[in-house]
Amino acid sequence: MKTSPPSLKSSLPASSCEPSSALYPRQISAEWTLATCTTQGAPFLIRPLRTDDRDREIAFIESLSEDSRYFRMLSPEKLLPSYVVNQLMDTDGDKRMAFVATTGAGCRERFIGVVRYGADADALDAELGIAVADDWQRQGIATKLISHLRQYAQSRGIERLTGMVLAKNGRMLGLAKQLRFRTNYGKDGLVHIELDVVPQPPHVSSQKSLHKCLTPDFSCDVS
C-alpha cells in the first residue's frame, strides 16, 4: 500500500515558543516590527523572519491552497524539500530579507503572510516574493507587507524590486497595478514586474498603529 511521505514539520524539532532575535540585531527586530490591522479591522503583526520560525514557515506553506502554492512556488506540491525550506529561511538582513505577518502569540503564533526579497551581493535589484494565506486574502495584507519591505529595501540601498508572475495570476497582477509596478508581458506565460524603491514616510510605530486598529472609527488604507 502506498503511503504519503511524512510532513517536513513532523520530522523537524519543534520551534521554541520563546521568540528569538538572534538572526538580527535587536534594534532591527524592534524598529521593523509593526502592529497594524486588515481592512476588516483584524489586528496582526509584521515582523522580521526569525531563526525559530522554520516550523511556522513550513506550516504556512502547507496551509496554502494548491493555486496559491503554485502561484508562489511555481509548484503545487504541498511538501517542499528540506533544501527549499533552507533557502526560504536563509536571510541576512541585508541582501536577503523576509518579513512575516502573524496572528497569535507564543506557541499560538502563526503566519498569515510572508514577503521577501533576494539580491546578489553587488546588485541594486532584488527579486520580490509574496504569499498570503487564502483566508486572509483581499484584506490589504499584501499591500502592507510590500510597503514594509519596500521601506526596508530602500534603507539597504536596493533600488528596484522585481518579480516574475504567472499571467493567469490575476490577483497579483491587480495588486502590482495598484502599487504602480511596471509590467512586461512575455511570450512564455510570465509577466515581469518592476518597482522603483524610493524614500517613503517613516512607518507608524507599533503602539500607535495598534491603538488605531482598536479604535472603532478607524479605517485601514489599502492604497
* Average of per-residue pLDDT across 85-108: 94
pLDDT for 54-70, tens place per residue?
999 999 999 999 989 88
pTM for the structure as a whole = 0.79
Please give the Cα distance from 201 to 151 (Å, whole number). 9
pLDDT for 130-169, tens place per residue?
999 999 999 999 999 999 999 999 999 999 999 999 999 9
Other beta carbons less than 10 A from residue 170's beta carbon: 11
Please give the Cα distance from 169 to 172 (Å, whole number). 6
**Coil, strand, or helix at residue 49?**
coil
Please give the Cα distance from 66 to 29 (Å, whole number). 32
DSSP string, 147-214: HHHHHHHHHTT--EEEEEEETT-HHHHHHHHHTT-EEEE-TTSEEEEEEE----PPPPPHHHHHHHHT
Which residues, 6 or more positions from 219, have their beta carbon under 8 angstroms from its beta carbon? 39
C-alpha cell at 93: 538582513
Other beta carbons less than 10 A from residue 74's beta carbon: 10
What CATH number should be reported for the domain whose range is 24-156+204-213? 3.40.630.30
